[in-house]
Structures are given as C-alpha cells and as structure tokens.
C-alpha cells in the first residue's frame, strides 16, 4: 500500500470530483495491481461496482416509470400554457436524473471492465447502455396487435443475474393446467 500512497501524495491538487482515487480499476492491468500490492482489493471493488450498477439500474427503472407517467398525464389531462410548462419542466428534470443514472451505470460498468469482469458483454448481465435503452411503453394504453413481438428495452432485461430457464416455466405452466382441469 505504500506504493499507492506515494502516488496519491505526488498527485497535483485538483477539485475533489477530479481527483484520482487510485482504486484497483484506476490501474491498467493485473500486473500493475500485483506490483502495487492491491490485487486482492480488485475483488472487493468488483463486488462494490456490481452493486453500484444494480443500484443505478433500479434507480433508472424508477425514473423511466416516472417519466412515462408524467408524459402520459401531460398528453391526456393537462391543458393551457401554465400547467403545460410546469409539466414540461418536471419531465425535463426527470430526464436529467435519467441521464445521471445512465452515467452512473456506465461508470460502474467501465470500472468492471477494467477489473476484468466477465459480466459486461452484450449478452451478459451488464450490457452497454444507450439513452435509447432507457424507455418503456405507456402502460395506460391497451396492447395493440404485434406488441408481443417487440423486444423490451435493455434496462428491463439487464442486471438480472441468472436468468430463469424456459424448461422451468413449462413445468409451472403444465402444473397449472393440471390444477385447472381438476377444479
């Protein structure tokens, strides 16, 4: 740890948000972390970053639902310039919070990649997140023909960990059919 301490001491004074913390993900590879004696801290940081990504996804899902509800309410119920402007300001503020949550997710995902995570591929638990992936269909509107064939946005599929097996679902549905026939 003394080697990392020396790096921290020699760092130029900057604003707190611009300071390098010298976490294991701040170093380019495993050899550097081994040389500095912080390789075991990489596993701890990996767990913390996974938790941070899960938190960011949960926050993002809540914000997207909030934006969805506000937008639908604005479209269906709000009239006149004053209320319309207030509703637009609320939606814009929520969109800023959505962008901040996306950036938080991206930062934790980038750190996981630096640490060598296997959970960050396109089909993995933590795929790349674009602004377009943070959407949802209006829940107040009835389903239309073809809605079932559309894929859900990535935020509703990411961060789930182990996915349920289809064979398990068939067993549950089969048991349900047996119970219905006996009623």
Q: Is residue 14 part of a domain?
A: no
Residue 80 is part of which domain span? 49-162
pLDDT for residue 167: 37
State residue 159's pLDDT score: 80
Domain assignment of residue 86, yes or no: yes
Q: Which pLDDT score is estimated for 26?
A: 79
User: Widest CA span of the chain, in angstroms?
Assistant: 76
Is there a contact between 142 and 168 (Cβ–Cβ < 8 Å)?
no
**Separation between Cα atoms, residue 32 and residue 28, nearest integer Å:** 7
For the record, the structure tokens of 36 come out as 């500095």
Looking at residue 144, its pLDDT comes to 74
User: Which two tokens mark 116?
Assistant: 């060598």
**Predicted local confidence at residue 7, as pLDDT:** 66
The tokens describing 118, both together, are 């296997």
Residue 167 placed within a domain: no
Cα separation of the two ends of the chain: 68
Q: What is the pTM of this model?
A: 0.74
Distances (CA, A) of 36 to 4, 28, 47, 48, 112: 7, 12, 20, 20, 19
Q: Is residue 62 part of a domain?
A: yes
Task: Note down pLDDT in tens along the chain; length 183 residues.
Answer: 457 666 666 677 778 777 777 788 877 776 777 777 777 888 899 999 999 999 999 999 999 999 999 998 898 888 899 999 999 999 999 999 999 999 999 999 999 998 888 888 888 899 999 888 888 877 776 667 777 777 777 888 888 754 433 334 444 444 444 444 444
Q: What pLDDT score was predicted for residue 134?
A: 87
Of 58, 90, 50, the residue nearest 72 (C-alpha): 90
56 belongs to a structural domain: yes
Helix 39-77 crosses helix 81-114 at what angle (to 10 degrees)?
A: 160
172 within some domain: no
Q: How far apart are CA 64 and CA 116, in angstroms?
A: 30
> What total number of domains does the chain contain?
1
Q: Determine the pLDDT at residue 4.
A: 67
d(CA 151, CA 128): 16
CA distance 92 to 111: 29
Distance CA 129, CA 100 (A): 13
């Amino acid at each position: 740890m003394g080697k990392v301490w020396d790096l921290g001491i020699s760092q130029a004074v900057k604003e707190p948000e611009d300071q390098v913390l010298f976490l294991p993900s701040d170093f380019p590879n495993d050899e550097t972390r081994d040389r500095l004696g912080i390789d075991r801290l990489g596993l701890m940081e990996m767990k913390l970053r996974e938790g941070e990504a899960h938190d960011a996804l949960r926050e993002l899902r809540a914000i997207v639902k909030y934006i969805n509800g506000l937008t639908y309410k604005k479209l269906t119920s709000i009239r006149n310039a004053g209320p319309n402007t207030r509703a637009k300001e609320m939606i814009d503020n929520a969109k800023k919070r959505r962008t901040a949550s996306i950036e938080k997710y991206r930062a934790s995902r980038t750190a996981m990649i630096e640490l060598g995570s296997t959970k960050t591929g396109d089909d993995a638990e933590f795929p790349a997140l674009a602004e377009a992936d943070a959407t949802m269909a209006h829940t107040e509107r009835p389903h239309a023909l073809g809605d079932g064939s559309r894929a859900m946005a990535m935020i509703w599929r990411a961060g789930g960990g182990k996915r349920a097996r289809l064979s398990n679902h068939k067993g549950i549905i089969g048991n349900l059919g047996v119970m219905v026939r006996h009623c």
